[in-house]
Each structure stands twice: as C-alpha cells, then as structure tokens.
Amino acid sequence: MTEFAPFYAQVFGIGLLWVTVHCFGMCGPIMASITAATGVHQSPDPTTRLWRAFKGVIAYQSGRGLVYMALGASAGLAGSAARGLIRDLTQTAGLVVAAVILAIGLIKLFSLRPPRALAGLRSRWSKRSARFTSKVLRILRHNGPRSGAAAMVLFGLALGFLPCMLMFWVLGIAATTQSAFHGAALMLLLVAMTTPVLVLAACGSSLPGIFRRLRSDRVIGGAMVLSGVWLMLIAFAANGWIDHVHIPFEFRDEPLVIMLW
C-alpha cells in the first residue's frame, strides 16, 4: 500500500482545493437543477429541505460512484497493459493539462479576453454539455422514476459519463497506478471529495451567501492558477527536471509518504 500512497495524496491534496471551487461553479448548477426537479425544495421547512438534499446527493453520488469506479478500474488495467507507453504519456500529458489549467485560471482571475480559438472551444463544449445534460434528464424523467432515491441514482449513473477535466485528471493518475483496484479507489475518492460541495449546491437558496459567492470567476480562477502551478511542479518532477518533495510519516508503525510534487 505504501507505494500507492503518493497517488492518493496527490488526488486529495490538489483535488480538495480544486473540488471546493471548481465543482461548485461547474457541477453545482446541475446538482441544484436536479434536486429542484425532483421536489427537494418543495417543503417549507428548511431542515426538511436540507435533509432531502443530503439524501438526494448521496443517492446521486452512489450512481455516479459506480460509473467512476468502472472507469478508474479500466484506466488502471490499461496502465498495466501498456506500462511504458502510459508512463511516457502521463509525463507529457501532465505538462499539457497543467498549462491549460493555468491559462484558464489566469483568464478567469484577471478577467482577460481568451484567445478566439479557446473561447470558441469553451463555448462549444459548454453548449454540448448543456444539451447532453438536458437530453439525459428529459429521457430519465419521461421513462423512469420522477423523484426519490431511485431517480437520483439513475441521474448519477447517466451523468457519470459527463466529460470533466477533473475526472480526466484523476483517470490519468489511475492509469499510472497500473492497478484496477487502486484506479477504482482513486475515482471513488474523487466522488467522496465532491459530495460535501454538491450537498451545499443542492441546498440552493438555503445556503449562506458566502457559499454562493464561491462561483465567482475570481475565486475559481485563483484556485485553478494554484492547481495549475502545483500540477506543473508535479510534471517537472515526473520528468526529472526538479527534485521530488515529499513528507515522510508513520501510521501504525507503517512508513508512509505524502508526495507534494
């Protein structure tokens, strides 16, 4: 297990900050619309609304977790089948992903006008994602249960395939583990990390104003810049350009390590 600790530390360390602001701004509106459509906010009692939102998100995450675990296990198996190729690809892909995240973060943080090609790509991506989400929700609501845990599980299963940069990043780490078990476990960790944020988003108007402000482009941009720099350091270390930095510690007399980069 010790040899896999850096993978978990990487997902948890960087992903925790990224999830907090990025997922709230990107997936939060989707989660809010789903819970509203399934009747979560119909009760006048705030406590009841919060409890329904919590149960709805847990059901949704259960379905999404099954999809993510299957994808993570597949990525781990693919990494095991093509070890040398996956290692070379991840070293290059890490630099590319870090550069893209850093560029988008700077654009958001300083309210810059993105290049026309990037703006067009982002617009097309957003429109396609919105169309895909709307189509899936209409089909499920027409043919499946309209409310309750079963409906939320189905939504989670279907929207688990929705493209997400954060998902692709963790899938890349899952591939480098070269293990189906740890690939699935890393994706399950991602689902667990996104759960509190989606619960907050699902509560809608019951949220304090500070959480609603997390969707600010400046907050998201700052987090993405930090994530991009951190990923860049990891990519540099993976390519041998700088030294790895890690924190060794012991847990129940077992030596472990947290890899910073």
* Measured distance CA(145)–CA(141) in Å, rounded: 6
The answer, as to whether pTM is greater than 0.75, is: no
Q: Is the pLDDT of residue 27 over 60?
A: yes
Q: What percent of the chain is modeled with pLDDT above 70?
A: 70
Q: Identify which has the larger pLDDT, 52 or 41.
A: 52
pLDDT tens-digit map of 129-184: 667 767 777 777 677 676 678 888 988 998 888 877 778 878 888 888 889 999 99
Binned at pLDDT 50, 70 and 90, residue 249 comes out as confident
pLDDT value at residue 210: 46
**With b meaning 16 or more CB within 10 Å and e meaning fewer, what string describes 158-186?**
bbbebebebbebbbbbbbbbbbbebbbbb
The residue with tokens 């996956």 is 86
Q: Is the pLDDT of residue 2 over 70?
A: no
Residue 119: CB atoms within 10 A of its CB come to 12
Phi/psi zone of residue 45: left (φ > 0), alpha (ψ -120 to 50 degrees), beta?
beta
Q: Identify which has the larger pLDDT, 42 or 29.
A: 29
Cβ–Cβ under 8 Å, residues 235 and 91: yes
Binned at pLDDT 50, 70 and 90, residue 222 comes out as confident
259 forms beta bridges with: 246
Q: Rounded mean pLDDT of the chain? A: 77
257 forms beta bridges with: 248
pLDDT value at residue 166: 79
Q: Which of 57-61, 93-97, 167-171 has the lowest mean pLDDT?
A: 93-97
pLDDT tens-digit map of 191-221: 999 998 888 878 765 554 544 455 556 766 7
